[in-house]
Amino acid sequence: WTLGGGVAFTPKPNIEVRLAGAVGVLTSGHSGALAGENGYVAGTDVSYDFGNDLVTAISGGLKIKF
């Protein structure tokens, strides 16, 4: 799940400031062997578990018009 947003502010007609950000959650899980309908087993070479992670991002910009 990820949620992002941003704002733009124009203090003067020729200047614009932009700020944006995002935050997200990567949920835990497991990867390993999986048996198909025809009996074929895939993913037997490796198996691992992974936990929850939080991801964040921030961005900014300034535009000056001449």
Contact 35, 43 (CB under 8 A): no
66 three-state secondary structure: coil
Sorting pLDDT into bands at 50, 70 and 90, what band is 11? Answer: very high
Residue 61 is predicted with a pLDDT of 98
Contact 64, 14 (CB under 8 A): yes
Q: Strand 2-12 vs strand 41-42: parallel, antiparallel, or unpaired? A: unpaired
**How far is Cα 66 from Cα 64, in angstroms, rounded to an integer?**
7
pLDDT digits (tens, 9 = 90+) for 13-57: 999 999 999 999 999 998 888 888 888 988 888 889 999 999 999
Per-domain boundaries in the chain: 2-64
- What is the pTM assigned to this prediction? 0.64
